[in-house]
């Protein structure tokens, strides 16, 4: 995460100047399809604003601290304002609320999923940072709670966040607390989900099918080399399907649109591209390029 201090000094909440003894952290979601934090920051940074949180998380990793951590926020409409730091996550533009906390998708589902997973990931990092700072145990009862959990405890207003978004993507508050604990111990939320080392879970045929769906114009030469991810990965104990996923990300699913490398370079992960304008390394064959990528992942 990229933590940026940007106190909302014009906010009535900030000017009230009340302090709390931090006993926990509450996670919120903004409740409207708006991915940009500055929209909320402008609205909250007014003397007449009725709400203000301690921080807001964007999917690109920018986390804006809006109040001093031990400042009493106006984030939950209940007693948790006196005990908990409040953190909001922005929401994807590709959803539409249909009533209460119910919503439907109006655009690219991948964008919706990616936004939710990204803000989750950076919230884990932020909460681990705050738990370390204030000596909090994320697995202890009532320390890490959502707005909706706060409502059930009688210390927050009646909101459905954050579970109303998370549940659609296999996320939960229980997992959130575990991921925070893991991050405090030196691993990350991703470490608890996917390993680079090991045996591939996807087959070469599944990878081909995925790529043809994402890029119908993919050259046959690219499809022919996909089994190399499996064989080269097995030689080093690296999951070849993870290396393939990395190549898809770095090459735009082998369209090479906006990529720093080209197909003839046989460099499908951007090896050697250390800054903008660098063309990266070239390899004599796809096998050598994939081998270098796999060995780089292992290292």
Does residue 155 share a domain with residue 272? no
Does residue 174 share a domain with residue 225? no
Q: Would 198 be classed as within a structural domain?
A: no
Number of domains observed in the structure of the chain: 2
pLDDT at 153 (0 to 100): 97
pLDDT at 187 (0 to 100): 53
Does residue 164 share a domain with residue 72? yes
Q: Would 193 be classed as within a structural domain?
A: no
Does residue 225 share a domain with residue 180? no
Please identify, among 150, 184, 218, the residue that sits at the C-terminal boundary of a domain.
184
Q: Would 255 be classed as within a structural domain?
A: yes
Does residue 84 share a domain with residue 12? yes
Q: Would 249 be classed as within a structural domain?
A: yes
Does residue 123 share a domain with residue 257? no
| CATH code where residue 104 lies | 3.40.80.10
> Which pLDDT tens digits describe the chain residue by residue (299 residues)?
999 999 999 999 999 999 999 999 999 999 999 999 999 999 999 999 999 999 999 999 999 999 999 999 999 999 999 999 999 999 999 999 999 999 999 988 889 999 999 999 999 999 999 999 999 999 999 999 999 999 999 999 999 999 999 999 999 999 999 999 999 987 554 555 678 998 898 999 999 999 999 999 999 999 999 999 999 999 999 999 999 999 999 999 999 987 889 999 999 999 998 877 788 899 999 999 999 999 999 99
Q: Would 196 be classed as within a structural domain?
A: no
Structure tokens given for 210: 């995925």
Does residue 239 share a domain with residue 170? no
Please identify, among 154, 184, 214, the residue that sits at the C-terminal boundary of a domain.
184
Please identify, among 149, 184, 219, the residue that sits at the C-terminal boundary of a domain.
184
Domain, as residue range, for 146: 2-184
pLDDT at 192 (0 to 100): 53
Does residue 234 share a domain with residue 99? no
Does residue 128 share a domain with residue 231? no
Q: Would 288 be classed as within a structural domain?
A: yes
């Amino acid at each position: 995460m990229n933590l940026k201090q940007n106190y909302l000094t014009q906010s009535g909440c900030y000017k009230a100047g009340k302090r709390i003894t931090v006993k926990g952290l509450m996670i919120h979601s903004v409740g409207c399809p708006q991915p940009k934090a500055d929209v909320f920051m402008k609205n909250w940074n007014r003397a007449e604003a009725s709400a203000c949180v301690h921080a807001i998380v964007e999917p690109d990793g920018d986390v804006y601290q809006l109040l001093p951590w031990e400042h009493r926020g106006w984030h939950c409409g209940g007693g948790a304002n006196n005990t908990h730091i409040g953190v909001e996550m922005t929401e994807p533009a590709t959803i539409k609320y249909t009533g209460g906390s119910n919503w439907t998708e109006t655009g690219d589902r991948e964008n919706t999923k990616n936004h939710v997973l990204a803000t989750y990931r950076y919230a884990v990092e932020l909460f681990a940072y705050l738990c370390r700072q204030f000596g909090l145990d994320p697995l202890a009862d009532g320390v890490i709670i959502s707005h909706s959990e706060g409502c059930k405890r009688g210390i927050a207003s009646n909101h459905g966040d954050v579970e109303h978004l998370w549940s659609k993507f296999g996320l939960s508050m229980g997992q959130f607390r575990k991921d925070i604990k893991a991050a405090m111990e030196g691993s990350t939320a991703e470490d608890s989900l996917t390993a680079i080392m090991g045996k591939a879970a996807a087959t070469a045929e599944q990878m081909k099918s995925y790529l043809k769906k994402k890029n119908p114009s993919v050259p046959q030469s690219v499809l022919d080399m996909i089994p190399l991810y499996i064989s080269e990965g097995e030689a080093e104990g690296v999951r070849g399907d993870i290396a393939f996923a990395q190549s898809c990300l770095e090459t735009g699913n082998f369209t090479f649109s906006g990529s720093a490398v080209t197909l003839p370079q046989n460099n499908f992960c951007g090896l050697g591209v250390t800054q903008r304008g660098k063309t990266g390394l070239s390899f004599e064959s796809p096998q050598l390029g994939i081998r270098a990528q796999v060995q780089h992942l292992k290292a």
